[in-house]
C-alpha cells in the first residue's frame, strides 16, 4: 500500500466513524424526543380519564337524586368507539388508553391507529381490541418505548387502562422472535395481548405474548 492509498483509507475510516457517531447521536435524540412526546400525551390521557370518571360519578349521583350540576362535565376530548374501545382525541391524535409495565418502569400512552408518524410519538394499537382479547400494540425499539421488552420474563405483569378507566391486568406468557414478514403471528397469536417491536438492526420482530391475569395467576 503506497502512502496516498494509506492516507485515503485513513480519511475514509475517519469519515465512517464520524458518520456512525452522528447517526448514534441522531438516533438518541429522536428517541429522547419520542419519550418526551409520550409522557406529555400520558399526562393528558390521565387527566381525561379522571374527568370521565368524575362525570360518570356525577351522573350516577344525579340519577340517584343528587345535584346534576356536575354531571354536565364530559371530559376534555371528543370520543368515539373503535373495535369496542373508547377513543379520545388528544393533541390531534386518537388514543385508546395507556400501558404500564412495572418490571421496566414504563408507562406509555397507546394510540388508536398505527403508522410510522404515530409510532414516533407513542406505541400504537396495530390490531384487535381488549373487548375481543386480541389486542396487538406495536412500538419502536426506542429505550423510552419498547426497546427493553425482550428482557421481560414469564409471569411479569402488564396493565392496560382504557379511556373509560377500566384497568386490565395481564401476565407475560412467552417471548417470541419472528421474521419481519410474519405479521400474522402477531395478529393471530392466540394470546389476549401482544406487545410488538423490532430488534436492533430490524432483523427480527419481538413478540411479548400475554394473557389476562386470572384469580389463579
Tens of each residue's pLDDT in the chain, 217 residues: 566 666 656 665 555 555 444 434 434 554 556 668 788 888 899 998 988 878 877 877 787 765 444 433 444 445 566 778 999 999 899 999 999 999 999 999 999 999 999 999 999 999 999 999 999 999 999 888 999 999 999 999 999 999 999 999 999 999 999 998 888 999 999 999 999 999 888 889 999 999 999 866 5
**Distance (Å, rounded) from C-alpha 67 to C-alpha 145?**
43
CA angle 102, 200, 205 (to 5 degrees): 75
Residue with cell 386480541: 134
**In whole angstroms, what separates CA 141 from the centre of its chain?**
11
d(CA 34, CA 140) in angstroms, rounded, equals 9
Q: For domain 3-212, say whether CATH 3.90.1200.10 is its number.
A: no
Query: CB of 170 within 8 A of CB of 157?
Result: yes
Q: How confident is the model at residue 21, as a pLDDT? A: 44
Distance CA 36, CA 160 (A): 20
Is 158 in contact with 193 (CB distance < 8 Å)? yes
Of the candidates 133, 130, 139, the residue with the CA atom closest to the CA atom of residue 111: 139
**Whole-prediction pTM value?**
0.75
Q: How far is CA 71 from CA 51, 54, 95, in A?
A: 11, 8, 24
pLDDT of residue 186: 92
d(CA 77, CA 46): 12
Given a contact cutoff of 8 angstroms between Cβ atoms, the answer to whether 101 and 161 are in contact is no
3-state secondary structure of 206: strand
What is the model's pLDDT at position 82? 74
The predicted pLDDT at position 74 comes to: 41
Distance CA 36, CA 99 (A): 16
Spatial distance between the Cα atoms of 88 and 103, rounded to a whole number of angstroms: 28
Amino acid at each position: 500500500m503506497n502512502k496516498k492509498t494509506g492516507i485515503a483509507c485513513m480519511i475514509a475510516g475517519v469519515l465512517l466513524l464520524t458518520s456512525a457517531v452522528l447517526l448514534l447521536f441522531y438516533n438518541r435524540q429522536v428517541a429522547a424526543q419520542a419519550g418526551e412526546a409520550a409522557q406529555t400525551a400520558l399526562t393528558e390521557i390521565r387527566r381525561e380519564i379522571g374527568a370521565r370518571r368524575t362525570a360518570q360519578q356525577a351522573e350516577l349521583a344525579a340519577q340517584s337524586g343528587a345535584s346534576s350540576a356536575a354531571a354536565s362535565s364530559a371530559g376534555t376530548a371528543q370520543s368515539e368507539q373503535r373495535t369496542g374501545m373508547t377513543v379520545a382525541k388528544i393533541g390531534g391524535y386518537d388514543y385508546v388508553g395507556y400501558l404500564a409495565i412495572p418490571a421496566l418502569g414504563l408507562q406509555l400512552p397507546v394510540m388508536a391507529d398505527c403508522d410510522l408518524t404515530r409510532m414516533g410519538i407513542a406505541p400504537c394499537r396495530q390490531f384487535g381490541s381488549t373487548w375481543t382479547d386480541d389486542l396487538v400494540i406495536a412500538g419502536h425499539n426506542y429505550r423510552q418505548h419498547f426497546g427493553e421488552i425482550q428482557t421481560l420474563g414469564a409471569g411479569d405483569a402488564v396493565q392496560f387502562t382504557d379511556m373509560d378507566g377500566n384497568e386490565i391486568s395481564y401476565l407475560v406468557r412467552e417471548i417470541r422472535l419472528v421474521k419481519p414478514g410474519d405479521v400474522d403471528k402477531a395478529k393471530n397469536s392466540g394470546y389476549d395481548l401482544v406487545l410488538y417491536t423490532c430488534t436492533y438492526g430490524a432483523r427480527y420482530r419481538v413478540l411479548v405474548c400475554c394473557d389476562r391475569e386470572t384469580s389463579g395467576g
